[in-house]
Each structure stands twice: as structure tokens, then as C-alpha cells.
């Protein structure tokens, strides 16, 4: 297929690469041009100087940028150039509201829209093992699903436009609670004089097991946070969650508390630390 990908960050760079390796004709755009040049040198696709130039003549326009206003800016420009019948696939973690707003604008241009946030982190993007949660028309979803396969471990249409972003919010609520639980568990284990590695061996095959425990326990025990999913991004995501909860009436007492804990981690200098750094509030890193 003829496709464009905008936003070659930690996630977008490898995702666009998987599309090129699968044989699609990929044009990329990145706000900071040298990343796009580096991408083209790695994967051999075409670099566009503007979003509109990237959007010209493509069947599918994908993006993975920062937050709501970035999505508005990029999709707004893409819609000035996309041909009738094209589809926009937004992999950014953004609000359900911006998805609905941009889907309506896209429909006015006879362009389809799918909100398609991802889970699986940098490793998932690099290894082509992302979970994708989609919102949009069934026919739009069916058309793009095969295209996304090279970087997909699991994909599901959750409902109308916005349902993908709402599902990603559920994902982030789970993660916040899990990581705070791990932070308190490790803190307690150390205070109790237990060996953290031994505790992991003992409890990680039982009911306390989780992806976060398997992948973050050891680094948390070492106070190592200079990798992974940044606290700034998590606060952006929890902000979306809490705004949506204020609208739908859900009570998220612990999530709101943990969002405040992440603000404390930011104040400790941890804006780019991995989300497992909730433990740093209790035990400052070495």
C-alpha cells in the first residue's frame, strides 16, 4: 500500500520501519528533520518536508505524536492533502474527544479515521509485538488491520471512534495501581530485611504475578529508572483518564492519588524516568 507515517519518535520510528520492511511504499514526516533522514537511511523510504506533502496520494496516513494538540495539528494539515477514501490511523495516546472531533472533520473530507493507541512500549514497537486498541467504523478497521499486522501482537476494534482511547485509559488505570503496589511491596520487603530477588522467586509464580513484576521488579530493586515509559507521558495519560472519569462519573480514588505521587517523582527530577520510579518517592535512587 502507499502509506505515510508522521512522528518518528521512540514508537513511530520502529513502527514505520516495520511497514517499510513489509514492502509498503512508505513516506515519512518528522518535525525534526534529521530523525526522518536517519529513518530513510535505515529503511529506504521517502522523506516529506511537510505533513501535507507526506499525505498526498496515500491510501493510509498513520501518526504517533505526543498529545491532543499535536494530533490536531498533524491531522488538520494531513486533511488538506489526503485523497478521498483515504484513512487516518492515529496511534498517539490522546483523548477520546479529540478522536471524535477529528473523525468528524475527516468525514467532511470523505476520509476515514481510526483511533488506535498502542501498548507494549519501545520493546513492543521494535519487536513488532504491540497491542492495539481501535475505535472506528468496522469497514475502516477491516481495511487497515492487515496493514498493521507487521507490528501487532493483538488488535481489537472496541467500538465507535474514541473507544480505542477509552480502552487505553483502562490499561493505564491498571498500570498505575500495579506499579504503586510493586513500589510498596519492595519497600516493605527491604524494611522487613528480606532479599528482594528471593521474594521475587517466591511470589512471581503465584497470584501476585504481573508483567510489571516480571519486567520491573529487578530494576526497581536496584533503583534504576533511566529507561522505559517516561513519567511525563504517564501523567499526560492519567490526566486524560481523570478528565474522562469526571465526565462519566467513575470513582478513581487510587488513580488520582497515584497521579499525585507521579507529580512528586517529577519534582524529584524524574520527568523522563520510567513509570516504575514510584518507588523513588519512598527510596531516592542511588
Provide φ and ψ at 227, rounded to 5°.
Answer: -165, 180
Q: Which is nearer to ligand NAP, 102 or 189 (CB)?
A: 102
Q: Which residue has the cell 514492502?
A: 23
Half-sphere exposure of 27 (CA within 13 A, CB side): 18
Q: How far is the CB of 22 from ligand NAP (least distance, A)?
A: 20
Q: How far is the CB of 9 from ligand NAP (least distance, A)?
A: 2
Contact 179, 276 (CB under 8 A): yes
Q: Which is nearer to ligand NAP, 233 or 273 (CB)?
A: 233
Return the DSSP state at 269: T
Q: Which is nearer to ligand NAP, 122 or 210 (CB)?
A: 122
Cα 115 from Cα 148, distance rounded (Å): 13
Q: How far is the CB of 192 from ligand NAP (least distance, A)?
A: 32
Q: Which is nearer to ligand NAP, 93 or 212 (CB)?
A: 93
Q: How far is the CB of 233 from ligand NAP (least distance, A)?
A: 4
Contact 141, 134 (CB under 8 A): yes
Contact 272, 232 (CB under 8 A): yes
Let me know if 168 is a catalytic residue.
yes
Which of 92, 79, 60 shows the shortest CA–CA distance to 165?
Answer: 92
Cα 1 from Cα 9, distance rounded (Å): 22
Residue ranges that bind ligand NAP, judged by CB under 6 A: 7-12, 30-32, 35, 64-66, 70, 73-74, 92-93, 118-119, 121-122, 229, 233
Q: Of residues 168, 205, 224, 286, which has the active-site annotation?
A: 168
Residue whose Cβ sits closest to ligand NAP: 9
Which residues are designated catalytic? 168
Amino acid at each position: 500500500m502507499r502509506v505515510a507515517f508522521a512522528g518518528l519518535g521512540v514508537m513511530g520510528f520502529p513502527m514505520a520501519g516495520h511497514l517499510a520492511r513489509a514492502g509498503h511504499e512508505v513516506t515519512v514526516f518528522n518535525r525534526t528533520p534529521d530523525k526522518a533522514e536517519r529513518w530513510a537511511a535505515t529503511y529506504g523510504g521517502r522523506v516529506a518536508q511537510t505533513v501535507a506533502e507526506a499525505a498526498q496520494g496515500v491510501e493510509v496516513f498513520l501518526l504517533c505524536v505526543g498529545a491532543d494538540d499535536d494530533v490536531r495539528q498533524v491531522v488538520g494539515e494531513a486533511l488538506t492533502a489526503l485523497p478521498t477514501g483515504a484513512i487516518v490511523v492515529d496511534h498517539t495516546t490522546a483523548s477520546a474527544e479529540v478522536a471524535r472531533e477529528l473523525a468528524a472533520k475527516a468525514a467532511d473530507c470523505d476520509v476515514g479515521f481510526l483511533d488506535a493507541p498502542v501498548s507494549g512500549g519501545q520493546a513492543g514497537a521494535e519487536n513488532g509485538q504491540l497491542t492495539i486498541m481501535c475505535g472506528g467504523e468496522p469497514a475502516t478497521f477491516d481495511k487497515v488491520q492487515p496493514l498493521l499486522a507487521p507490528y501487532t501482537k493483538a488488535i481489537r476494534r472496541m467500538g465507535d471512534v474514541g473507544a480505542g482511547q477509552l480502552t487505553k485509559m483502562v490499561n493505564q488505570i491498571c498500570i498505575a495501581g500495579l506499579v504503586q503496589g510493586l513500589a510498596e511491596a519492595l519497600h516493605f520487603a527491604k524494611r522487613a530485611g528480606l532479599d528482594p530477588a528471593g521474594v521475587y522467586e517466591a511470589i512471581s509464580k503465584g497470584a501476585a504475578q504481573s508483567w510489571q513484576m516480571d519486567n520491573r521488579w529487578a530494576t526497581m530493586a536496584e533503583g534504576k529508572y533511566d529507561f522505559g515509559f517516561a513519567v511525563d507521558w504517564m501523567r499526560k495519560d492519567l490526566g486524560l483518564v481523570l478528565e474522562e472519569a469526571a465526565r462519566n462519573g467513575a470513582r478513581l480514588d487510587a488513580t488520582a492519588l497515584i497521579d499525585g505521587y507521579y507529580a512528586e517523582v517529577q519534582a524529584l527530577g524524574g520527568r523522563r524516568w520510567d513509570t516504575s520510579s514510584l518507588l523513588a518517592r519512598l527510596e531516592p535512587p542511588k
